[in-house]
Amino acid sequence: MEEPRIGVYVCHCGTNIAGTVDVEEVAKYAETLPHVVVSRHYPYTCSDPGQELIKNDIKELGVNRVVVASCSPRLHEKTFQGVLREAGLNPYLFQMANIREHCSWLHEPGPEVTEKAKRMVRAAVNRVSHHIPLEIRSVPIFPATLVIGGGIAGMQAAWEIANSNHMVYLVEREPSIGGHMAQFDKTFPTLDCAACILTPKMTEVARHPFIRILTYSEVVEISGYVGNFRVKIRRKPRYVDEGKCIGCLICQEKCPWTALSEFDAGTRKRKAIYTPFAQAVPNIPVIDTEHCAYFLKGTCRACEKFCDANAINFEQSELIFELDIGNIIIATGFDTFDAFSIPQYGYGRYPNVFTSLEFERLSSPTGPTEGHIILADGRQPDSVAIVHCVGSRDKNYHEYCSRVCCMHALKYSHLLKEKTNAQVYQMYIDMRCFGKGYEEFYDRIQSEGINFIRGKVAKVSDEAIAEEEKGKLIVLVEDTLLGNMLRVPVDMVILCIALEPRKDANEVAQLFHLGRSADGFFLERHPKLDPVATMSEGILIAGCCQGPKDIPDSVAQASAAAARALAMIARGKIEVPAITASIDETKCSGCKICNLLCPYNAIFFDDEAKISRINQVLCQGCGVCAAACPSGAITHNYFTAEEITAEIEGVLA
Amino acid sequence: MSFEPKIVGFLCNWCSYAGADLAGVSRMKCAPNVHIIRTMCSGGLSPFFILKALEAGADGVLVCGCSPGDCHYREGNYKAIRRISLLKKVLEQLGIERERVQLHWVCASCGEEFVNVVNKITAEIKELGPLQAGQKVVI
């Protein structure tokens, strides 16, 4: 190995590091360390001139190892590895000392912070002198993309990719694509109807020659790695032959058995054989075996009798098949907060307390009342209270803001005024109208004669204490601007329930190795600079599964995820990280311990040579085999015994 | 001067290192005694490195990995549980208190948890005092 000539670059990061750490002293100290030929400090090392500085030193001073003491490698390791590569050095002859996230930001200011930074730089210098060049290999990828979730985000992502003539599989677990957006009536702030903008998109996606829709299906297993995933999909039986069904829906008409409609948020019933809504795509019904008399009791089969197309097939079984996939976009959306969790708001106890999703259905022309906003007894409401932040911005439930409720609450006010001319009360904590055209919409609604009461609702009750409260729901709320308690008698209460992670978000996270943020939504790789990627390469996220967002933001994020997938498809290959494990054949005793430990089945036993070998394409570089090898025959590249030992000695010296 | 322990913290790349990053980004503050070394996975951390740290002058070792079920490499953290419990038994026979080596789960959004873990292990090792010369590991 050539004599190490190490360049050290201590970054100020403006005042982020230099405000707490004496960067000049750290740089001066680094000069005294073995093999260091140059040590500098610079205001922003990641900037263009900062990068040039490193490149110049590599060229002029013959620097052959680089240490940058700045932020987290999760942020800029790739940036600086690129600098080395451009200057003709192997990118693995580099080490970062994270003196910002793990030092200047993490400790109270004081001389020990600078001391700690010095230790971190010393450890990095010690370590980098043991680094060896690692080979970067590239492997071809599968061009097909898997999109999980057929809501607006999933459809948008699928459509964007398919327009480049690359195959997309769109998996949706419900019988139809469309997602939550299909349930909405109007959309804020433009008040165009959700169905009018969504259903043409659903048809377009379904008819697209490069999109294959897999409804009523779920991903059950995934193996492989970025660019080369193998995904196992389970298609639940519809008990209706998709090839034969003509979508006449006579079966739905004749079926005598019912259940609450999920699509209508339980505001009306559907049949046991049903399509979720009239515009469903595909327009093919499914049999709900939990409510179908044939599946429960073995008799009925009315649907079969009336089906002229002979499409009903009670013998249908689930289908399991596998797909070769390059990229995966997860757009699994959100669930809504369970309004029963806040009993003082009376949901479920008073029939005229509705959730926002129920109100959407009530107001929709395709809903149970054909768009007429009526109370449980069929009357029109004279007064309505809209309660904001039900489950959001509340430490007892969800700390976060659900971001869409203020705006849909304003939309409800408008619809109520327009359809019923009722008195409308908005009970809000803060109005958050942040999007394009949102503040203008808020202004417009204010001018429509809506009452705004700033305060969090304490209770909804039916206990009247005055004549005008009789037969009404009384909303108890503190008007925090006037500083007094109010009792507002109304006919109807709408609870703006929070958006929350899907109930099975944990299982999905485990299946795809995703992280979750404290609020339970899927964790993006970087909150600002990489909101669509995840910690798992090749797995992207879009829409509300990453956090509550409105339709324009979901669509934008979906398009961004599609662009990311397309970038890889266009390259046709990916670089496989060089951090893998390798076996020294002369040391391997053939004990096979590593074979069983490998989570990717990347290690196989060579029966002829009586030793284990590692498939370098399958190896993901976790190092579990190297840690277990009793002969010390396995090297975990970039985390070798020499490198880690040097780092340990560096921090402790 | 009061005893300030030196602790080596091996943090897995996917969860715990990111969790420590989050603590920093959120400007949470913790004791400066834990010196972080990045590993790919808690299950890929050879016990050799833990012993090496104790030999090289650490008074304690912290190992952090993804929460059970969340391992980026599926089940590396379960392997870490087994290895470290076995290692602790060996350490006790060498006369080294088992509290000097600790395994904790710190997820990528667990900034606060990371700060708590660091403060906890720092306080506990301060209580134990320095790893005595007689206890020193030689490997």
Query: Per-residue pLDDT tens for B78-116?
Result: 999 999 999 999 999 988 999 999 999 999 999 999 999
- E strand or H helix at B103: strand B101-105
- Looking at residue A584, what is its pLDDT? 95
DSSP state of A240: B
A148-201 pLDDT tens trace: 999 999 999 999 999 999 999 999 999 999 999 999 999 999 999 999 999 999
Q: What percentage of chain A exceeds 70 in pLDDT?
A: 100
The whole-angstrom separation of Cα A634 and Cα A623 is: 9
Contact A463, A475 (CB under 8 A): no
Closest chain A C-alpha to B87 CA, distance in angstroms: 13
Tokens of A450: 């809506």
Give the pLDDT confidence of A198-229 residue by residue, as tens digits. 999 999 999 999 999 999 999 999 988 889 99
CB contact under 8 A, B24 and A106: yes
Integer Cα distance of A206 and B35 in angstroms: 54
Length of chain B measured in residues: 139
Q: Do A490 and A352 form a contact (C-beta atoms < 8 A)?
A: no
What digits encode the pLDDT tens for the residues A48-80?
A: 999 999 999 999 999 999 999 999 999 999 999
Please give the Cα distance from A49 to A70 (Å, whole number).
Answer: 15
* pLDDT score, position A529: 87
pLDDT, residue B136, reads 60
Q: Do A106 and B23 touch (CB under 8 A)?
A: yes
Which of A73, A123, A622 is closest, CB to CB, to B44?
A: A622
The token pair that represents A108 in the structure block: 């109270």
Contact A648, B50 (CB under 8 A): no
How many Cβ atoms sit within 10 Å of the Cβ of residue A436?
A: 8
- Window A:74-133, CB contacts with B under 8 Å: 74, 98, 100-103, 105-108, 112-113, 116, 119-120, 123
d(CA B86, CA B69): 21
Residue A528 scores a pLDDT above 90: no
pLDDT, average across residues A95-99: 97
Q: How far is CA B120 from CA A563, B31, B33, B112, in A?
A: 45, 9, 11, 12
Q: Could you report the predicted ipTM of this complex, rounded to two decimals?
A: 0.96
Cβ partners under 8 Å of residue A303, min gap 6: A251, A254, A255, A273, A287, A312
Residue B74: predicted pLDDT: 82
Phi, psi of A582, deg, nearest 5: -135, 155
Both tokens of residue A33?
A: 């360390």
Residue recorded with tokens 């107001």 = A363
> What's phi and psi for A600, nearest 5 deg?
-115, 10
The answer to whether the beta carbons of residues A359 and A499 sit under 8 Å apart is: no
Check residue B133 and give its pLDDT.
58
pLDDT tens by residue, A351-392: 999 999 999 999 999 999 999 999 999 999 999 999 999 999
Nearest CA in chain B to A114: B32
DSSP letters of A180-221?
Answer: GGGG-SEETTTTEEHHHHHHHHHHHHHH-TTEEEETTEEEEE
Q: Which helix (H) or strand (E) holds A556?
A: helix A551-571
Q: How many residue contacts between A and B have a Cβ separation below 8 Å?
A: 143
Residue by residue, pLDDT tens for chain B (139 residues) are 689 999 999 999 999 999 999 999 999 999 999 999 999 999 999 999 999 999 999 999 999 999 888 888 888 999 999 999 999 999 999 889 999 999 999 999 999 999 999 999 999 999 999 998 556 666 5
Q: What rounded mean pLDDT belongs to chain A? A: 96
Nearest to B21 among A72, A621, A636 (CB): A72
Q: How far apart are CA A123 and CA A643, in angstroms?
A: 10
- Nearest CB to A648: which of B17, B49, B73? B49
Other CB atoms within a 10 A radius of the CB of residue A559 amount to 18
Mark which residues 21-50 of A lie under 8 Å from B by CB: none
